[in-house]
Amino acid sequence: MNPMPELASERLYEGERFSVERVRYASRGRQLSRDVIRHPGAVTIVPMVDNDHVCLIQNHRIAVGQTLIELPAGTLERGKDPRVTAERELAEETGYRASRWDLLHEFFLSPGVLDERMRLFLATGLTEGPTNRESGEQIENRVVAWDEAIDMVRRREIRDAKTIIGLLWADQCRA
């Protein structure tokens, strides 16, 4: 399938973590436009404390006004290696450092409006250390048995998309 030719784009908003562009493109002889959120990408990490336990976090999310159960994650800095970002985010949010990193998958979270590409890493060989959470972050570690984490997805207690994808994909890789 051939991509639709982009005719022009106009920056509508420039924020700290993302921007919004109005993209004009041609499709079937018509000129159309769509507003697109531009994002540098992100990482999410499945931190295996041991073979049978994973470290999740409870993270208060202002956008939805709720505390969610999630995998640790973070936004890429432009030009930075995703693994370096994953290492930094794991240490900052959970205090853990990993001796082994495996890239499990890459996916788009909401490609209808957002170009963010998420990289999913498995982190093993963890050692504990201090956290370095950002000012204003309300995060708590929650180490749970692997089977319990999967059951939390099934019971719909975990509602964060990257966490659902990450846990279920990692579970398939473990099988």
| Helices 161-174 and 146-154: angle between axes, nearest 10 degrees | 130
Distance in angstroms (rounded) separating the CA atoms of residues 72 and 92: 9
Which pair of structure tokens corresponds to residue 98? 């990993």
Hunting for tokens 């998420």 — which residue is that?
A: 118
Per-residue buried b or exposed e for 84-108, using 16+ beta carbons within 10 Å of the residue's own CB: ebbbebbbbbbbbebeebeebbebe
CB-count burial class (<10 Å; 0-12, 13-18, 19+) for 72: buried
Instruction: Please give the structure tokens belonging to residue 129.
Output: 């250390």
Q: How many CA atoms lie within 13 A of 21 on its CB side?
A: 13
Which active-site residues does the annotation give?
137
